[in-house]
Amino acid sequence: MLDEQPKLADITAHLRDVVFRTHRNGYWCYLSPAWEQLTGYSVEESIGRHLIDTVHPDDRDMNLKVKQSLEVGQCNSSRHTKRMLCKDGRIIHVEVDVSITHGDEHEGRVSVGTIRDITERVEMEARISAERQRHEAVLSALQEGVVSLDLAGHIRYLNPTARDITGWIVGARIDEALSATLKIEDPHWITHLLNQLGTGLPYRHERPLKLISAPRWVELRLVPLDQTPAPNGGVLVLRDISAEQSLLERLRYQAEHDALTDLINRHAMHDILGREHANALRTGRPYALLICDLDEFKRVNDLHGHATGDHVLQTVALRLRQLMRRGDWLARWGGEEFLCLLPETEPEEAFSIAGRLCHDIATHAWEDPLDAMSPTMSIGMACWPDDLSDPEKLMLSADDALYRAKRSGRNRVWRIHPGDNVHEL
């Protein structure tokens, strides 16, 4: 064996890794020249010492377990990492490859292997891990959901906000996750989003998206990752806009509804009338307009105050709403006026409905002090296509009919054309 050592030394003299050999009991019997550069100990002072002497105290139990596994034959080789103590007090990280082999008849089973310095790699991994933890801490603090996607559209990372919003998991396909989570009117945009991953171009979905399982709204945009040298996936950013959407819906509702009666207002009814008229032109189905006005309502305010007047308006609105059919529209048109839009309704049926409305208000059991006044209502009626050709002229016709109903004694329905039909109560 001694004759072989010069040859072994020639081979290992220029290796960066340490080549070693130990007796079965764990004492060094050969160390290549790289040992001194690695640990600061010379080969001469280390030969004959136990290998455990240079192992970090916290790693010695692990090292002994590896040694015992090799000795009892549980394994023939091992690759493991540990810390070693250098002569100058430094602590280094090493990777050890060790195998059991048979020496000469005097040595029996011996260990041979290499020791590689991986300190720089371990420190770099630690820096990367620390940086990752900092990034994850930042991402965890974000109120936006952040989802990392690979080029194939698989989820590789989600921050806590994204998990809370969507319930998605790492590894899922983003197209399947989106389809299962969001109410999607046009599925083609998901395909477009996946295609964007390969282009390196940003993408922003134009409309808010609503979750299927919860009353939450999100805004979605895709930010490409580093595209050097080729597209590398992207980051999907989800912003919970539920509060904003709720506010917008409340503002929209307030803009379209009367605060006192909770009926749609004049502005909203104009839009609805336009849509219904367009539908009537397309289908040829008739519709009717009823302008309902409370008779002598000013006397209610003058005699009993505006609070009582408001109560009358609210009660009338509720009664009219209860009498309307599914699909009919009712709006507070202004002051004490209400407008009823009856889609797909023939004039005879509309006239009958108007009569029921008049009768219901006239026979309503009002409480004191309104019981003595017994408020009534007059209605002007106009029908398309019999009366006039467009909504504006139809409104004028209904308004003129209301005026004639008032002049004729109130508490009645009037339609100007064709013929002066009147329904008196």
- Could you give the domains of the chain? 4-122 (3.30.450.20), 142-242 (3.30.450.20), 257-424 (3.30.70.270)
Backbone angles phi, psi at 113, to 5 degrees: 175, -165
The DSSP code sequence of 313-341 is HHHHHHHHHHHSPTT-EEEEEETTEEEEE
CA distance 340 to 331: 7
Q: Is the pLDDT of residue 108 over 90?
A: no
Q: With a cut of 50, say whether residue 373 has pLDDT above it.
A: yes
pLDDT value at residue 270:
94
Q: Which amino acid is at 42?
A: S
CA separation (Å) from 134 to 61, 123, 131, 138, 139?
33, 16, 5, 6, 9
> How remote is the C-alpha of 153 from its chain's centroid?
17
73 CA to centre of own chain: 56
Q: What is the CA radius of gyration of the chain?
A: 44
- Residue 388 pLDDT class (50, 70, 90 cuts): low
Tokens of 401: 């009919």
State yes or no: pLDDT of 85 exceeds 90.
Answer: yes
Output the average pLDDT for the chain: 87
The pLDDT confidence band at residue 107, using thresholds 50, 70 and 90, is: low
Buried b (16+ CB within 10 A) or exposed e, 109-133: ebbbbbbbbeeeebeeeeeeeeeee
Residue 245 pLDDT greater than 80, yes or no: yes
Residue 30: C-alpha distances to residues 23, 24, 84, 256 (Å): 9, 13, 18, 91
Question: Could you tell me the pLDDT band of residue 2, with boundaries at 50, 70 and 90?
Answer: very low
Look at residue 6 and tell me whether its pLDDT is greater than 70. no
Determine phi and psi for 264, rounding to 5 degrees.
Answer: -65, 155
**Least confident stretch, 257-266, 331-340, 368-377:** 368-377
- According to the model, what pLDDT value does residue 141 have? 66
**Hey, which residues does 239 pair with through a beta bridge?**
219
Does the pLDDT at position 424 exceed 60?
A: no
Asked if pLDDT for residue 91 goes beyond 90, the answer is yes
- Using DSSP's 3-state secondary structure scheme, residue 112 falls into strand
Q: Is pLDDT above 70 for 93?
A: yes
* CA geometry: angle 57, 89, 58, nearest 5 deg: 15
pTM for this predicted structure: 0.58
Instruction: Tell me the mean pLDDT in the region 214-218.
Output: 87
Does residue 234 have a pLDDT over 70? yes
Left, alpha or beta for 195 (phi > 0: left; psi -120 to 50: alpha)? Answer: alpha
Confidence of residue 313 (pLDDT cuts 50, 70, 90): very high
Measured between its terminal Cα atoms, the distance across the chain in Å is 128
Percent of the chain surpassing pLDDT 70: 92
Average pLDDT over residues 120-140: 83
Specify whether the CB–CB gap between 386 and 398 falls below 8 A: no
Residue 193 banded pLDDT, cuts 50, 70, 90: confident
> Measured between alpha carbons, how far is 300 from 310 in angstroms, rounded to an integer?
10
Give CA–CA dist 251/34, Å, rounded: 77
pLDDT of residue 69: 84
